[in-house]
Amino acid sequence: MEAVAILIEWGRYLLSGISITMGLVISALAIGFLLGLAISLAQVYGIRPLRAAADVYVWFFRGLPVLVLLFMFYYGVFPALGLDLSAFVIGAVVLGMRGAAYQSQIFRGSIQSISEGQMTAALSLGMTKRAAIKAIILPQALRISLPSLSNEYPEILTDSAVCYAIGVMELLTRTSVIVSQTYVTLPIYAACAGIFILLNYAGMQAISKVEKKFAIPGFGIAAG
């Protein structure tokens, strides 16, 4: 069969897109996590101007289509700043900044769901507010966040395909190259889809391992 022969011939080319796609996803998740955490802390504990800045950030990055953001930063913002970054880096950063807006709201909700008494008790023991956030509030908030955070992985994995539009050599870009070279469509797109589904499954398995590892009896949703 022609399709099988093509897949064998182009298989290595397609599969090497996995590391690019996963590179985008993991960088974006990491940026989203760190930036999202900082934004949530600014929203909950920050002084008024900091809170306002965080609110504007979230409103901006959640309010625009991901493709608009990508073009805006690829063709506009980074060149205007005189930064000559690769498409891969820009893709990872934009997905990460957008993810931060979403993740920040997960963290904010978790922080605010922790009872006031936890902070009060920490302060009464002589902890500073900063120490209490670090030692008491965040370890709890992050655990509470884990189930919702696991939604971020498939979100960003699927969103990563928009990086096709700026020429990052990820899975969809490679798929299109193969299609344009061979004029075979369905089997090639099916192979691409199959890889995304496998990556999704593998990622979710890893996340549920993390959830189990950090689970504490009687605490949070991952209890038991």
Q: Which stretches of the chain bind other proteins, using CB under 8 A? A: 115, 117-118, 120-128, 131, 135-136, 139-140, 143, 216-219
Min CB(132)–other proteins separation in Å:
9
The nearer residue to other proteins, 85 or 123, going by C-beta atoms, is: 123
Residue pair 36/103 in contact by the 8 Å Cβ criterion: yes
Of the pair 118, 181, the CB lying nearest other proteins is at: 118
Nearer to other proteins, 72 or 135 (CB): 135
Compute the distance between CA of residue 160 and CA of residue 173 in angstroms, rounded to an integer. Answer: 11
Minimum separation from the CB atom of position 46 to other proteins (A): 18
Shortest distance, CB of residue 33 to other proteins, whole angstroms?
A: 19
Q: Indicate the residue among 132 and 199 with the shorter CB distance to other proteins.
A: 132
Decide whether 19 or 120 has the Cβ nearer to other proteins.
120
H/E run at residue 86: none
* CA-based end-to-end distance of the chain: 51
Measured from the Cβ of residue 181, the count of other Cβ atoms closer than 10 Å reads: 13
SS (H, E, C) 91-121: HHHHHHHHHHHHHHHHHHHHHHHCCHHHHHH
195, 14 contact by CB (below 8 A): yes
